Amino acid sequence: MRIIIVGGGIGGLALAAGLRRQGFDAAVLEKDIDPAVTGGYHITLDGPAQSALRELVEPEIFERVLASASALRLREPDVFWDRRGRLLGHGPDLSDDPSVDIDRITLRLLLAEAAGDSLHLGRTVSRVGRTEEGRPEATLDDGSSTAGDLLVGADGVHSLVARHLAGAPTSRPAGIVGFSGRTSAHDLSPGEQVRLGPRSGLAIGPRGAALYVGFLDPAGNAVLDAPGLRASVTTGPTYIWGAMFPESSRTSLLRGETGAALRDALLARYRQQGWSEPSLEVIARAEENSVAAFRFNAASTRARDLAPWPAGPMTALGDAVHATPPTAGMGAGVAIRDAAGLVSHLCDVRSATTTLSVAVSRFEAEMRLRGGVMLTLAMKTVRLILATDTRLGAAVTGAALPALAAVRRIRH
């Protein structure tokens, strides 16, 4: 069975690795010319995502993932702050949390290695369709085409394959624009190093402004303490932050900026909205070239709306089907679980226990459920942030958050 995979991001490469490991003939067509030259910050892999990855890649690659990842169980519980950096509360104890965080670039490079010669870089698919014999086919922008028995769209949030199958885009803007960057902990003042600490946090202010600060330390907080296997591009304690604002003409202007200009514009926007200087230090001291804008896209939270096409020899997985804002930190993990699910059902086809269309149908049914759960979770935070952008929400956030912070100070 020949499987064509359009897109070599996290889901496509995970699928290729698993198919290769099981002896299938797979080809990934990826438009990037180098897997290392890509954007992205850190990716969270929860327990089920790690189990899926363990099935897909060789043990040696899995060990390198763990040696390059930062463990949540070694962190302090997450925190919530108001816009002045005052503590509002803590998240749950993480000591039993199996989740790990890894640089997106590191994960993609390790998966590319696992995919081996099935990965074809610099190949942009411009069209998908069927051959005269009805086989699924991808046409590249150089005019060449390739056909298989199954074609899988792993081509991300603006998927060409899923749009072809669904007859319309499978996700839409979620109403929030994000701006991200990286800041080395060593570049922060001693006071901020202590306040942020070895943990992640979320600050929420009125008018839909929020700031997520994630802690990543694959060297000091390594899941597997094996420096010889470490491949992480992050080498010291680092904060990956994400500024969030409701989408508007003002965020459209911000999206036109990059680097230092974008950083300064973000700082100006937060200051206008009454955020304190210490709570903005993580942005002010970011690595200049790391600051970038991205728009949150989301598919429907209803499982039955996902992959709305009849099962056949063309399907899709990951963001192509269930694009999600990063607010649940599950997009990559669920794409990896999709890949493991598809490999397992294709093994049933090879052993003749089922047909291809039944296998794809079962895979899609499971993917809809996984995607629906993740989207529901991710959209809860999006709705909370958007709720502070109403008149009532702004008033409640402005009055209630300082009160909560004061109560906490009295209690401690």
Interacting residue ranges for ligand FAD, rule: CB under 6 A: 6-12, 29-32, 38-41, 43, 104, 124-125, 154-156, 160, 318-320, 326, 331-332, 335
Of 170, 159, 180, 331, the C-alpha closest to 255 is 180
- Least CB distance to ligand FAD at residue 107 (A): 8
When the beta carbons of 206 and 329 are compared against ligand FAD, the nearer one is 329
When the beta carbons of 42 and 195 are compared against ligand FAD, the nearer one is 42
Of 294, 384, 297, the C-alpha closest to 104 is 294
User: Distance between CA 349 and CA 343 in Å, rounded?
Assistant: 10
User: Distance between CA 262 and CA 240 in Å, rounded?
Assistant: 16
Q: Is the dihedral of CA 412, 214, 369, 168 positive or negative?
A: positive
When the beta carbons of 374 and 405 are compared against ligand FAD, the nearer one is 374
Q: Which amino acid is at 337?
A: R
- Least CB distance to ligand FAD at residue 104 (A): 5
Token pair belonging to 46: 């929860």
When the beta carbons of 45 and 303 are compared against ligand FAD, the nearer one is 45
- Least CB distance to ligand FAD at residue 320 (A): 6
For the chain, how long is the longest CA-to-CA vector?
Answer: 74
Of 287, 97, 105, the C-alpha closest to 180 is 287
When the beta carbons of 12 and 85 are compared against ligand FAD, the nearer one is 12
- Least CB distance to ligand FAD at residue 38 (A): 5
- Least CB distance to ligand FAD at residue 95 (A): 23
- Least CB distance to ligand FAD at residue 410 (A): 37
Q: Contact 22/30 with Cβ under 8 angstroms?
A: no
- Least CB distance to ligand FAD at residue 40 (A): 3
When the beta carbons of 22 and 124 are compared against ligand FAD, the nearer one is 124
DSSP annotation of 287: -
- Hey, is 286 helix, strand or coil? coil
* Cβ-based neighbours of 330, under 8 Å, separated by 6 or more: 44, 46, 49, 324, 374, 377, 378
Q: Of how many residues is the chain composed?
A: 412
- Hey, is 328 helix, strand or coil? helix
When the beta carbons of 80 and 294 are compared against ligand FAD, the nearer one is 294
Residue nearest ligand FAD, Cβ-based: 9
Token pair belonging to 287: 């690595």
When the beta carbons of 39 and 173 are compared against ligand FAD, the nearer one is 39
User: Distance between CA 188 and CA 90 in Å, rounded?
Assistant: 22
- Least CB distance to ligand FAD at residue 326 (A): 4
Pairing outcome for strands 145-147 and 136-140: antiparallel
